[in-house]
Amino acid sequence: MAKDLSGIAPVIPIDRLDTLPLHRQICEGFRAAILRGNLQPGQQVPSSRHLAEYLEISRFPVVDAYTRLLSEGYFESRVGSGTFVSASLPGQLRHGRRSQSTTGGSRCLSRRSSLLPRFETVPWRHGWGPFGVHQSALAQFPFGAWSKLLAEHGRRPCLPAIHDNDPMGLDRFRDAICSYLRTARAVECDPSQIMIVSGSQQALEITARVLLDPGDPVWIEEPGYQVAQSVLLGAGCRIVPVPVDDEGINVTSVSSLQGIDSDARVIYIGTFSRVIFPSVRVSYIVIPPDLIERFMAVRFSLGIFPSYLFQEVLTDFIRAGRFARHIRRMRALYKERRTALVESVQNTCGDMLEIHGAGAGMHLTVTLPSGFNDAEIASQAAKYGLCLWPLSPCYMNKPRHGFVLGFAATPADQMAGAVHQLWKLLKNQPGQS
Percent of the chain with pLDDT over 70: 88
How far from chain centre, in Å, is Cα 110? 24
Domain membership flag for residue 51: yes
Same domain, residue pair 176 and 268 = yes
Domain endpoint, select from 307, 340, 356? 307
Tell me if 411 sits within 8 A of 368, measured CB to CB: no
Same domain, residue pair 86 and 177 = no
Same domain, residue pair 350 and 282 = no
Same domain, residue pair 88 and 33 = yes
Same domain, residue pair 303 and 332 = no
**Which of the four pLDDT bands, split at 50, 70 and 90, describes residue 273?**
confident
Same domain, residue pair 186 and 272 = yes
**Which of the four pLDDT bands, split at 50, 70 and 90, describes residue 1?**
very low
* Cβ neighbourhood burial of 186 (10 Å; 0-12, 13-18, 19+): middle
Domain endpoint, select from 93, 122, 142? 93
Domain membership flag for residue 198: yes
Domain membership flag for residue 151: no
Closest CA to 57 of 115, 12, 113, 101: 12
Q: What is the mean pLDDT of residues 323-338?
A: 93
Q: What is the mean pLDDT of residues 381-398?
A: 91
Domain membership flag for residue 117: no
Same domain, residue pair 288 and 357 = no
pLDDT at position 227, please? 87
Question: Which stretch of 24-28, 47-51, 326-330, 354-358 has the lowest confidence by average pLDDT?
Answer: 354-358
pLDDT at position 164, please? 66
Tell me if 312 sits within 8 A of 174, measured CB to CB: no
Domain membership flag for residue 289: yes
Higher-pLDDT residue of 82 and 100 is 82
Q: Could you give the C-alpha distances from 319 to 21, 176, 180, 311, in angstroms and in order? A: 65, 7, 9, 12
Question: Which stretch of 1-15, 134-148, 155-169 has the lowest confidence by average pLDDT?
Answer: 1-15
Domain membership flag for residue 407: yes
Q: What is the mean pLDDT of residues 124-151?
A: 88
pLDDT at position 196, please? 95
Q: Could you give the C-alpha distances from 262 to 54, 187, 257, 295, in angstroms and in order? A: 64, 12, 10, 20
Domain membership flag for residue 417: yes
Question: Which stretch of 4-18, 93-107, 146-160, 181-195 has the lowest confidence by average pLDDT?
Answer: 93-107
Domains in the chain, number: 3
Domain membership flag for residue 58: yes
Same domain, residue pair 30 and 79 = yes
Same domain, residue pair 211 and 300 = yes
Same domain, residue pair 344 and 295 = no
Same domain, residue pair 175 and 284 = yes
Tell me if 52 sits within 8 A of 37, measured CB to CB: no
Residue 119 φ/ψ, nearest 5 degrees: -85, 125
* Cβ neighbourhood burial of 102 (10 Å; 0-12, 13-18, 19+): exposed
Question: Quick check: helix, strand or coil at residue 282?
Answer: coil
pLDDT at position 116, please? 83
The CATH number assigned to the domain holding 402 equals: 3.90.1150.10
Question: Strand 389-390 vs strand 402-406: parallel, antiparallel, or unpaired?
Answer: antiparallel
Closest CA to 352 of 367, 341, 362: 367
Domain endpoint, select from 35, 70, 93? 93
Question: Quick check: helix, strand or coil at residue 101?
Answer: coil
Separation of alpha carbons 335 and 157, rounded Å: 39
**Which of the four pLDDT bands, split at 50, 70 and 90, describes residue 400?**
very high
Same domain, residue pair 343 and 256 = no
**Which of the four pLDDT bands, split at 50, 70 and 90, describes residue 242?**
confident
Question: Which one-letter amino acid corresponds to residue 181?
Answer: L
Query: DSSP string spanning 187-200?
Result: ----GGGEEEESSH
Q: What is the mean pLDDT of residues 377-406?
A: 91
The CATH number assigned to the domain holding 250 equals: 3.40.640.10
Q: Could you give the C-alpha distances from 286 to 191, 265, 291, 387, in angstroms and in order? A: 9, 11, 10, 33
Tell me if 255 sits within 8 A of 186, measured CB to CB: yes
State the residue range of the domain holding 369. 328-427
